[in-house]
Structure 1
Amino acid sequence: MSTGADGTRAPLTADVAPFGTDPSRGVRARITQASTERAFAILLALAAVGLGVVDAPAVVHQLPVLDPLWGPVVVVAVAASFVFVGVSALVQRFAQPAQILCALVFFVALVTWPLTLRDDLPAGQVPWPWWFCNVGTTAAAMGFAPWRATVYNALVPIVYIVIRLTPAGGEVGLTRALLDGVYTTILGIVTLVLAVVLRRAAAAVDSAQATAVRRYSHAIREHATEVERVQVDAIVHDSVLTTLLSAARADTLEAKTLASRMARNAIDHLAAASDGPREVPPVPLAELHARIGAAVSALAAPVAVRGGPFGMHNAPAPAADALASAAIQAAVNSVQHAGDGVERWVSVDVSASGVVRVEVGDDGTGFDADAIPAGRLGVRRSIIERVAAADGIAEIHTAPGAGTRVVLTWPARPVDRAEAS
C-alpha cells in the first residue's frame, strides 16, 4: 500500500497478468523475409515480362543481321528465362532458380554478342542485350549472394563497354560507351543495395518476432506456474494451517469432529488442485452469496451478510471459488484481528453489465499494510493473488484505527470482457 499526494493510503492491489490474448495472433509483422522475397519476385517478373513485350519488335527487327542459327537460339533462350521469371512470381519456390537462370542466360547472351552478329549493326541501333541489361543485373541482385551479385553488376557494364567499342557494338567511341556503362552500373548498384538492405531488415524483423514468441511462451509457462503456486499456497494457508490450528485446540468431541471434517475438506481441496482444471458450469451469484453466508455464519463473531437480488447473473466456477475463498479469508482475518464488539459485514452485488463486487468490512482496529511481513500469506496469497489469478482485482482499504474494507471485483477489466462477448 502506498501513500498518495493527499496523505491517504492507496488500496493494496495486485496487477492482473495480461495473458488473455496471444500477441502473435493480434499483431502481424508487415515486413518479413517471405513477403520481401515475394515482392522481389513480382517486381522482377513485371520488369522482365514488361520489357520483353515492349522491346520484342526491336529484337525481331535485328534478327536479319544475326547468325541464322545462334541468333534465334540466344533470343529464344533469353525470352524463355523471362517467361520462367514471370511464372516464378506465382510459384514462390521457383523464384530463386528463375532469377539465377535469367541472370546467367543474359550474361551468356551479352558475352557472345560478337559471335551472334553476322552483318554490321545498322547505324543508330544498339545491340539488343542493352535493353535488358538491368533485367540481368536485377535478377543477379535478387538471386545471387551479395558478393556474387556485386561481381556480376561489375562485369556486365565492363563487357558492354568493351562491346560498344568494337565494330560489333557500333564503335560509338569511349564517351558514349562509358555513359551507357555508368548508367547500367548505377541502376545495378541501386537495385543491389535495396535488395541487401530490405533482406537484412526483413531478417531482423523475423528474428525479433521469433524472440518475442519465445519470450511470450516462457512468460505463459511462468504465469501458469505462478497461478498454480498461488492456488496451492492459498489452500495451504486457508485449509491446512487452519485445520492444524483447530486440531491443536480441539479439547471436546465437537471440536475434534469439526477438525476431522476440516481435514477431509483440506485433502479434497489439495486433490482438486492437483487434478488440474476441469469443465465446471458457471455458478449463479445467488449460490455464491449463499456459500459465503454459510461459511461466515460459522465464525466465532457475527458477520452480517447483505446483497441481492442477482437475477440470472452468474460467474465462472474459478472466479466464484476465488471470490468466495478470498471473502471468507477476509472475514476470518477480521474475526481474528479486528477486535471484540466490532461490526462486520459481507456484501455481494452485481452491476447491470455483470461486474461482481464483494465487500468484506469491519469498523475495527485496522492495520498498516506496509508492516505485513513478507512471509505472511493471508492477505497476499489468499486474497490479492488468488483473485488476480481468476482475472479479478482485490483492494484492501485500511489504516490503523480506521477499520478495514476488502473489495473484490470481477472481472478486473469489464471492457475486455464486453469485447470478448
Structure 2
Amino acid sequence: MTTEVAPFGVDPSRNVRATVSQASVERAFAILLAVFAIGFGAVNVTTVLNQQRFLDVTGGVVLPVALAAAFMLVGVSVFVPRLVQPAQIVTALLFLVVLVVWPFTVERPLVGQQPWPWFICNVGTVAAAMGFATWRAVVYTAVVPVVYAVIRLTPAGGDAGVLRAVVDGVFIGILGGAALALIVMLRRAAAAVDSAQATAVRRYSHAIREHATEVERIQVDAIVHDSVLTTLLSAARADTPDGRMLSARMARNAIDHLAAAGDTPEDVPPVRLAELRARIAQAVDELAVPVTVRLGAISSRTVPAAVADALASAALQAAVNSVQHAGPTASRWVTVDHTAGVVRIEVGDDGVGFDQAAIPAERLGVRRSILERVASAGGAARIDSAPGSGTRVVLTWPAPGAGEQ
C-alpha cells in the first residue's frame, strides 16, 4: 500500500526547503565572521605584544583585551542566534573606537611599523557590513580607511608618508567595499528566494482551498441530482402502484444519502468489494427495468467508504441514465471486478447510445454525478457510446498512474 499523494503534490511548506534562504545566509555570515575574528585576533597577538613598549596601558592592555572579548562574543553568537547582530555591532563600534583613540595611547613613535589595528581592519568593516543597516555600513566602510590613513600620517601611526598612507586606506576601502557589496547582494538574493517560496506556499494553500470547495460542490451536486432530482422526477411520473412504491424507496435512499453526506471519513469503516457489488446490485434491482449483475473476479480487499460511495453512486446514476435513455428493448448489465490492483466497474447496455459532444452544459447527470464524482474520489470514469451502438460506462479506481492506495 503506497502513501496517498496530495492532489496538488507534496506540501512545500513542510517538505521543500530552499537551497538559499535568508536564515541560512545569516548563519553562514555569523560563522565566517567568527572564524575571521578569532583567526585574525590570534595571529595579531604577537604584534600586540611586540608593540607594548610603545603604548600606554590603554593601548597595550585595555583595548586589545576589549577587542578580544568582542571577538569571543562573535564566536559565542554562532551558538546563540539572538547574540549575532549585537556581537557584530559591538565589534564594529569597538574597532572604530580603537582607531579614534589610538593616537592618544602611543607614548613613543612607531617608526617603520604598522599599528596593530591594521591587521584586523577588515574584521571591523565586515562586522559593520553584517550588523548595520546598509547605509550605516556604507558610511562606516568609508570612514575607517580615512581615519586609518590619517593615523598613518602621524608619528603614532609610523609616519608612513602620504603615498603609503593613501595606499593603506585604499586597500582597506577596497576590501571592505567588496565585502559589503557581496553581503548586500547575498542578502537580497536570499530575501527574494524567501519571498518566492512564501508566495508559492500561499498559492498552494489557495489551490488546496479551491480544490476542497470544488470537491464539496461536486459531491453536493451529485447528491442533489442522483438522490433528490431523480426521486422528484420518478414521483412525478409515478401513476401506478409499482411506480409509487419505487418512488418511496428512492426517497428513502435520498434521505440516507443526505444523512451520509455529513459523515467524516473517520466515521465510516472501509468497504469490502463484495459489499460494494452487493450494494450496486441492490440499487439497480430497484430500477423499473431489469439490470443484470455479472459476476467478476473480486478479492477480499477493501476500499475507503468515500470511494465506495462515489463508485456505487456513479454506477447507479449510469444505470438510471440507461433506463431513461437506452430504450425499452435494450439489455443492461453491471460488472464489478478487481484485477491487477484496480477496481473496475462497467455499466453497459446495447441501446440507442448517444453523442457525448451533444450533451447540453446544464445537464449534470454525466458530468457531475459520474465523471467528476469518481475523479474527486481518486478514480477515473470513461464513457464509450455512439448513436446506435449502445453505451458502456467504465469506472476505475485508483485512476491510472495514481498507484495503489
TM-score in terms of structure 2 length: 0.94
Equivalent-residue separation in structure 1 for 2:402 and 2:254 (angstroms): 36
Deviation at 1:122, TM superposition (A): 4.6
Deviation at 1:37, TM superposition (A): 1.1
Query: Aligned partner of 1:224: which letter?
Result: A
The gaps in structure 1 that reach 5 residues or longer are 1-15
Of 402-411 and 102-111, the range deviating more from structure 2 = 402-411
Matched, 1:64 2:53: yes
> Could you tell me whether the CA contact under 8 Å between 2:319 and 2:347 is conserved in 1?
yes
1:32-181 map, 5 Å: 32-123=21-112, 125-181=113-169
Deviation at 1:403, TM superposition (A): 2.6
Distance 1:413 1:204, change over 3 A: farther
Query: Aligned partner of 2:138: which letter?
Result: T
Structure 1 residues 97-119: Cα deviation after superposition (integer angstroms, max 9, x where no partner): 00000000001001111112111
| Corresponding residue of 1:373 | 360
Of 196-205 and 275-284, the range deviating more from structure 2 = 275-284
> Could you tell me whether the CA contact under 8 Å between 1:17 and 1:388 is conserved in 2?
no
Equivalent-residue separation in structure 2 for 1:330 and 1:410 (angstroms): 16
Instruction: Give the SS at the match of 1:112.
Output: helix
Aligned length: 401
Matched, 1:401 2:385: no
> Could you tell me whether the CA contact under 8 Å between 1:286 and 1:308 is conserved in 2?
no
> Could you tell me whether the CA contact under 8 Å between 1:284 and 1:314 is conserved in 2?
yes
| Corresponding residue of 2:180 | 192
1:310-329 map, 5 Å: 310-329=298-317
Of 135-144 and 241-250, the range deviating more from structure 2 = 241-250
Of 245-254 and 217-226, the range deviating more from structure 2 = 245-254
Query: Aligned partner of 1:399: which letter?
Result: A
Equivalent-residue separation in structure 2 for 1:178 and 1:50 (angstroms): 27
> Could you tell me whether the CA contact under 8 Å between 1:282 and 1:316 is conserved in 2?
yes
Equivalent-residue separation in structure 2 for 1:278 and 1:359 (angstroms): 28
Deviation at 1:415, TM superposition (A): 4.8
Matched, 1:356 2:343: yes
Equivalent-residue separation in structure 1 for 2:147 and 2:95 (angstroms): 12
Structure 1 residues 323-377: Cα deviation after superposition (integer angstroms, max 9, x where no partner): 111111111112211223333322222123x221112222332222122111110
Instruction: Give the SS at the match of 2:267.
Output: coil
Structure 1 residues 65-105: Cα deviation after superposition (integer angstroms, max 9, x where no partner): 11124431111111111111111111111000000000000
Query: Aligned partner of 1:387: which letter?
Result: V
Deviation at 1:416, TM superposition (A): 4.5
Structure 1 residues 29-48: Cα deviation after superposition (integer angstroms, max 9, x where no partner): 12222111111111111110
Equivalent-residue separation in structure 1 for 2:9 and 2:164 (angstroms): 67
Distance 1:258 1:229, change over 3 A: same
TM-score in terms of structure 1 length: 0.90
Matched, 1:283 2:288: no
> Could you tell me whether the CA contact under 8 Å between 1:355 and 1:414 is conserved in 2?
no
Equivalent-residue separation in structure 1 for 2:343 and 2:265 (angstroms): 22
> Could you tell me whether the CA contact under 8 Å between 1:100 and 1:140 is conserved in 2?
yes
Deviation at 1:193, TM superposition (A): 1.1
Distance 1:404 1:317, change over 3 A: same
Structure 1 residues 253-311: Cα deviation after superposition (integer angstroms, max 9, x where no partner): 44333323322321232232245444321111111112112222232333332243322
Query: Aligned partner of 1:160: which letter?
Result: Y
Structure 1 residues 9-55: Cα deviation after superposition (integer angstroms, max 9, x where no partner): xxxxxxx9824642322211122221111111111111101111122
Equivalent-residue separation in structure 2 for 1:238 and 1:296 (angstroms): 13
| Corresponding residue of 1:9 | none
Matched, 1:27 2:16: yes
Equivalent-residue separation in structure 2 for 1:67 and 1:17 (angstroms): 71
Query: Aligned partner of 2:321: which letter?
Result: N
> Could you tell me whether the CA contact under 8 Å between 2:128 and 2:137 is conserved in 1?
yes
Task: Return the structure number with greater relative CO, CA threshold 8 A, min gap 6.
Answer: 1
Equivalent-residue separation in structure 2 for 1:87 and 1:289 (angstroms): 69
Equivalent of residue 226 in structure 1, options 203, 209, 214: 214
Distance 1:223 1:145, change over 3 A: same
| Corresponding residue of 1:300 | 288
The alignment yields a C-alpha RMSD, in angstroms, of 1.9
> Could you tell me whether the CA contact under 8 Å between 1:153 and 1:189 is conserved in 2?
yes
Equivalent-residue separation in structure 2 for 1:335 and 1:122 (angstroms): 110
> Could you tell me whether the CA contact under 8 Å between 1:396 and 1:407 is conserved in 2?
yes
